[in-house]
Copies of this chain bind each other. A is one copy, B any other.
Amino acid sequence: MMCQGVIQVNAALAMVGAVSLSDPSNPTTRVMDVLKFLAAHPTERFTLAEIARHVGLSNGSAHRLLTTMAAGQFLSRHEKHRTYSLGLSLVAIGQAAIAGHQGIEIARRELARLAAELDMQCSANCLADEEIVVLVKEGRPQSHLGLTRVGERRPLMPPVGLCHVAWGEQTLIDDYIGKARPFMAASVLDHLRDALPLIRARGYAVCANGPGAAASRQVLVTASDQVRDDAYWTRVHELIGQLSADEIQLVDLARAEEAGVSYMAAPVFSPAATVAFQLVVTGLPTDLDPRKIEACAQRLCAAAAVVTAEMHGRHPAG
């Protein structure tokens, strides 16, 4: 029956607040979309027309939007080339946001320590509106693939964001699995479902490397430069279908020796006992033996625990 799916979707929407549903063209959303788009490309500059295309605006609307934002220094405008990028006001606002979330600075400190100890790439990301947003990055700057650049956004789809999902609300879990279902073999889907309790029990998530993970990375990274059109989503969905069980969650750490570990993640909890953000370690050597991996994971969890503690977070009861 199709009914169940519909009910789930409605529940999720009611949960979120139904704003995105009833407002097909919310002006607030457009402002945020412009900022999100520009934040995903911090070093580039875009013309009015480019931005209009990327966020789906008419030139006329984009013109007033960008002019207004530039007037307030939310965007900085390069007069010569008529291009826009994030403005200085956002620097101030970003600093203020950090001041309001003590966890961020603590996380940065711990991630830097972690990156130095393990000589790996460490980052933190949070969940924003069905997307994963990179908040902090420490360690070897700008990996060869430019994989995780602060401000970048990726859709919440396997195999990323598992910590957000594993400790998230039931509706989020249902949504996550629901989005993956059409593209996964039944056995792999079951593996994904079973992975969540395991992640909760272990306290961290670990994904194996492999052709699916690599291809997925490739697409997601290169795709961050382009519009998320139907072709993009088709590719993403195809890639999800190609993921192996180990690439979704590595149950048996011994199997890591085959292809290595793609990433490990551990959650940081907020005072409200929800996942504030997750700490991620990537760029692990491929020749790590299970013992080393276990040690890395424990070190990562320790860092996450420190951050949780210092920001007065609480581990959810269950």
* Segment among A88-96, A184-192, A308-316 that sits at the interface with chain B: A88-96
Complex Cα distance, B65 from A17, in Å, reads 12
A43 CB-CB contact with B under 8 Å: yes
Please state if B67 and A17 are interface contacts (CB–CB under 8 Å): yes
Pick from A16, A29, A71, A97 the residue with the most CB of B within 10 Å. A97
Copies of this chain, count: 2
User: Which chain A residues numbered 73 to 100 have a C-beta less than 8 Å away from chain B?
Assistant: 73-74, 76, 78-80, 85-100
Give the residue name and chain of the B residue nearest to A30 (CB).
B28
A299 at the interface (CB under 8 A from B): no
Tell me whether A31 is interfacial, beta carbon within 8 Å.
Answer: yes
Q: Within the assembled complex, what's the spacing in Å between the Cα atoms of A74 and B90?
A: 12
A39-78 vs B, Cβ < 8 Å mask (1 yes, 0 no): 1101100000000000000000000110111011110101
Cβ contact of A151, chosen from B35, B93, B129, B134, cutoff 8 A: B93
Minimum CB–CB distance from A162 to chain B (whole Å) comes to 18
- Residues of chain B within 8 A of A94, CB atoms compared: 90-95, 97-98
State the CA gap A78–B271 with chains docked (Å): 10
Task: Establish whether residues B28 and A69, one from each chain, have CB atoms under 8 Å apart when the complex forms.
Answer: yes
Across the interface, which residues of B come within 8 angstroms of A36, CB to CB?
A: 72, 89, 93
Interface size on A, residues (CB 8 A): 63
- Determine, out of A18-26, A174-182, A248-256, the stretch whose residues face the partner at the interface: A18-26
Q: CB distance B150 to A92 under 8 Å?
A: yes
A71 contacts B16, CB within 8 Å?
Answer: yes
With A88-B126, A94-B93, A135-B88 as known contacts, state yes or no: A99 contacts B68, CB within 8 Å. no
Cross-chain contact B101 with A97 (CB below 8 angstroms): no
* Cα A67 to Cα B26 with chains together (Å): 12
Quick check: B74 and A32 within 8 Å, CB to CB? yes
Q: For the complex, give the distance between the alpha carbons of A27 and B29 in Å.
A: 11
Name A's B-contacting residues (CB within 8 A): 16-17, 19-20, 23, 26-29, 31-32, 35-36, 38-40, 42-43, 64-65, 67-69, 71-74, 76, 78-80, 85-101, 104, 126-129, 133-136, 149-151, 272, 276-277
